[in-house]
Structure 1
Amino acid sequence: MVKTLVGTWPFIRLPLGALVKSWESQQDTLKAALHGLDILLPQEVTPKRWKLRVLDLQPDADSTFWDVWSGAEADPGTRTQNGDPARRGEKYASLAGPAVVVTNLCFQKMDRDELLSFLTERVLQRKNLPHLCCTKLEFRGPANHHPIVLERILNMVQLDCVREVEVNCRWDLHYLNWFAPYLAQMGHLDSLHLSGIRLGCRWFCSKDEADERLAQLTSQLSRLRPLQQLTLRFITFCRDQLDQLLSCMPTPLESLIIMDCLLYFSDITRPSLCPCLHQVRSMDLSGVCKVGLDHSFFPLLIYNASATLTHLDLADCNIHDSDLRALQPALGRCSQLSTLLLCGNPVSTAALQSLLQQIVPLCKFSLVELPVPPQCYVGPAQFLHVGRLAWVMEQLRLSLPGPRVLSLNFAQSPDCLIYDAILLRGDD
């Protein structure tokens, strides 16, 4: 039925994703829809009976689609004022292919995704591909897709529609540089997530080679003017040159996430001077200093973003009492700060009391996540001593300047170890 529906649909757009989102077998439905699309893809001239121009596979497609069947409905390649993808079918009437498939595209094992299997099979058989309008591109798992297959598929993607890219696989910098020109053409890219990327096939290479590869990447990233969020996790390709990567960003970032990366001292001191970080609203540096790096860069980094910073995550950064005291002047300038996460750091009760007394009145905190002090744990196995914890929480409660709610929370750290957290919530 679905296969026939695609071939005989009497309107420009078919929001199939909205129709099947509650079905148990979405992949079977997708396979049938793609087989219906396959009937006309090889044809050079689109038959007059073929009305369908946009096959929308997004599960969250516009729920009002029943009212907009004429050619004036919105187009995946344009945007409304609120930033949502608009959908006007007329734009695609002149495209070479018979239809546009609107969906998010994830490159992973082909047996997990009917769409990827369909596209890959057509590439290998040298058949025509549909145009693809994707708001999100994902690359997961090993880099097991041949560049020619990826290139053919990416060449059919309307790059101006992409808002988010996530590369979470074992790519090296050479492979990332192959993909970077596609990134540079994404005129509405908001979020870029890079995870697990290494410098090259060999862990060590010459400095000149590393500089050349990084310069090639930054020349492309410098064109990402709309980029608002940058996430770097488990990366080793920018050793001793993180500032070069951040300095290439042409506009200020709203969100910066650097987690569990192999960094050098220069990596975390020079970026504090990068212009792209001076208007950051959300900053996540959890796990950055677990290898004993100097924390002296934290105050400067926070100070430079103090006018706009609202969320700060310094969990598992090996922060001690002296480091926390050095942070307080910079934190005190963050008048817009609403969330502060400090779990997993070995900080004493006295240092936490000082933080609450001096910083809480100066900020707009709605949530502060504090570590349970080391004195609350006993024995070689470091069991939590309930009596000591109760005393610590009472001392912290007495340090609060005004009505606040103090509670105990059990959370999970980035390295999958369970730790305890004391939560401080605002009046709201």
Structure 2
Amino acid sequence: MSLQAPSKLLELAGQSLLRDEAMAIPALGELPTELFPPLFMEAFTKRRSKTLTAMVQAWPFPCLPLGFLMLTPDRKTLRAVLEGLDVLLAQKVRPSGCKLQVLDLRKDEIFRSMWSGAPVRSPQAMSQRQTGDDCPGTQRQWPLKVVIDFLSTCDSKQEKKFLKYVFEWAQQREDLVHLCCKQVMILGLQTPSVKKFLDMVELKCVQKLYLDMVELECDQDVKMCNFSEVYELGRFVPYLAQMKSLQKLHISYTFEDNYTWIEKPEPEKVGQVVARVASTFLKLDKLQELSLFSVCFLQDHLDQLVRCLKTPLETFQMTECRFSESEMKHLFLCPSMHQLKELNLSGIILSDVNLEPFQTLLENAAATLQVLILKDCCITDAQLSVILPALSSCHQLITLNLRGNRISKAVLENLLRHTVSGLRLVGYPVPEEC
């Protein structure tokens, strides 16, 4: 028979309070601060609506990180929290013990540490997030900030209703509530609900943007590639231009090999779209990470886009695309690539490309480059020998992936001799002899 560890006195006191809501609510004013998080979680799990409403009004911390408790969104418990916030917003003077400034609805593992008391990797960043000081979107002071991620990819109808409910609640109180969205993930740009959301939030707050333009499907057997999504990207540019705090931009175009063209792109129109996106990049002076996945419409326009990167990037990812040698040269020699920490060119065919410009890129980024992924690039022995001296000078490099390239055993051994010292994670191809 196993013995269970005895419950802490505070936990027992909290459980006792929740057995009788009529007794618990008046006692909140005398409740020790450390008892609020476990008691709140208990009340939330057991759906004690009246206790939740009262606890929000007496919350003794700057932030209420509700997101990870909403893994299975329940409107009744959410409504109880929002009703407590309504009471606070209606008061000119808040109760002395209440310090609530931010309702954080992101499903973020970091905030588990606030509830559990576990150590945090960056206490300063944690403090900023709790008080809302990490929000660069607006200088206006709001009584309450509601932080949320928008994921149009969520499959759960319950979760979509939850998002809609929060948006409508915040919109009805727009003079009192700042709806702050840090991360936006959009699957398909033409959905009316996406545009409605983008018109509702303060786009200056967005720091991460994921755009996935998907193929059309008429039935299960026929895949059709429609470039109307590319033109729709042009209509998205006014929204992108407002995201002045954007740090990470991921653009992908998802389609399968067995597709049928139903609309071929007109080069002039595609060029116009890329030009509008590129001109917007001039306004994104906080952009640190740019990822382009299977964006076939960028062919012949890559250099046009890269030239407009205003600040040095920390991460650049471009996979499964085909570009000319001239375009790749412009990319490798672009000043915005000189301080990279991570470079991923997986699936970019480099076998017919002069890699001397790439060698120059490695030399320029030698002091900062930590991750280099050249998987399935068809790099040859001769090309690897060209870049090896520059590669060996990248002393910060900790991850190198060369899998899927046609490299001989002798060149691999030479590579090992020059690069293995500081590497922690390495992916080498199987030598051609094997």
For Structure 1 versus Structure 2, the TM-score category normalised by the shorter chain is 0.5 to 0.7
Residue correspondences, number: 348
Choose the corresponding residue for 1:282, options 331, 342, 345. 342
The Cα offsets for residues 7-52 of structure 1, whole Å up to 9 and x where unpaired, read as 442146662526727xxxx3243x3344446769999x84679987
Distance 1:176 1:36, change over 3 A: farther
The Cα offsets for residues 162-213 of structure 1, whole Å up to 9 and x where unpaired, read as 3222122328333333333333333432211111179x98332033x22222
Of the structure 1 ranges 54-63 and 322-331, higher mean CA displacement relative to structure 2 is found in 54-63
**1:86 maps onto 2:129 in alignment:** yes
Residue 417 of structure 1 is matched in structure 2 by none
CA distance in 1, matches of 2:319, 2:205: 28
**1:202 maps onto 2:202 in alignment:** no
The Cα offsets for residues 126-179 of structure 1, whole Å up to 9 and x where unpaired, read as 973764223221113x44621xx3333224434343322212232833333333
Residue 17 of structure 1 is matched in structure 2 by 66
TM-score by length of 2: 0.67
**1:224 maps onto 2:323 in alignment:** no
Residue 273 of structure 1 is matched in structure 2 by 333
Choose the corresponding residue for 1:103, options 148, 151, 154. 148
Residue 353 of structure 2 is matched in structure 1 by 294
Residue 164 of structure 1 is matched in structure 2 by 208
Residue 370 of structure 1 is matched in structure 2 by 428
CA apart distance, 1:319: 1.2
Is residue 322–residue 349 contact of structure 2 (8 Å, CA) maintained in 1?
Answer: no
SS of residue in 2 equivalent to 1:302: helix
CA distance in 1, matches of 2:101, 2:52: 10
AA aligned to 1:163 is Q
CA distance in 2, matches of 1:184, 1:352: 46
CA distance in 2, matches of 1:33, 1:321: 62
SS of residue in 1 equivalent to 2:111: coil
AA aligned to 2:156 is D
The Cα offsets for residues 61-112 of structure 1, whole Å up to 9 and x where unpaired, read as 3744799xxxxxxxxxxx99648643437999964xx854322221125635
CA distance in 2, matches of 1:102, 1:125: 13
TM-score by length of 1: 0.68
The Cα offsets for residues 345-369 of structure 1, whole Å up to 9 and x where unpaired, read as 1211112122223x237x6333332
CA distance in 2, matches of 1:127, 1:309: 44
What are the within-5 Å matches in structure 2 for residues 52-91 of structure 1?
54-58=102-106, 59=108, 60-61=110-111, 63-64=113-114, 82=125, 85-88=128-131
Choose the corresponding residue for 2:186, options 110, 124, 139. 139
Of the structure 1 ranges 266-275 and 226-235, higher mean CA displacement relative to structure 2 is found in 266-275
Residue 414 of structure 1 is matched in structure 2 by none
Residue 309 of structure 1 is matched in structure 2 by 369
Distance 1:301 1:169, change over 3 A: same
Is residue 316–residue 342 contact of structure 2 (8 Å, CA) maintained in 1?
Answer: yes
Is residue 272–residue 304 contact of structure 1 (8 Å, CA) maintained in 2?
Answer: no
Unpaired stretches in structure 2, ≥5 consecutive residues: 1-46, 215-227, 256-260
What are the within-5 Å matches in structure 2 for residues 232-271 of structure 1?
232-271=292-331
> More helix by proportion, 1 or 2?
2
Of the structure 1 ranges 330-339 and 120-129, higher mean CA displacement relative to structure 2 is found in 120-129
SS of residue in 1 equivalent to 2:66: helix
CA distance in 2, matches of 1:348, 1:250: 40
CA distance in 1, matches of 2:185, 2:63: 24
Is residue 343–residue 373 contact of structure 2 (8 Å, CA) maintained in 1?
Answer: yes
Is residue 92–residue 100 contact of structure 1 (8 Å, CA) maintained in 2?
Answer: no
CA distance in 2, matches of 1:282, 1:238: 21
AA aligned to 2:66 is G
CA distance in 1, matches of 2:83, 2:251: 38
CA apart distance, 1:239: 1.5
Is residue 18–residue 63 contact of structure 1 (8 Å, CA) maintained in 2?
Answer: no
SS of residue in 2 equivalent to 1:336: coil
Is residue 110–residue 117 contact of structure 1 (8 Å, CA) maintained in 2?
Answer: no
Is residue 138–residue 166 contact of structure 1 (8 Å, CA) maintained in 2?
Answer: yes
**1:150 maps onto 2:208 in alignment:** no
CA distance in 1, matches of 2:170, 2:92: 25
**1:360 maps onto 2:409 in alignment:** no
CA distance in 1, matches of 2:430, 2:93: 69
Distance 1:337 1:286, change over 3 A: same
CA distance in 2, matches of 1:230, 1:320: 27
Choose the corresponding residue for 1:212, options 259, 267, 272. 272
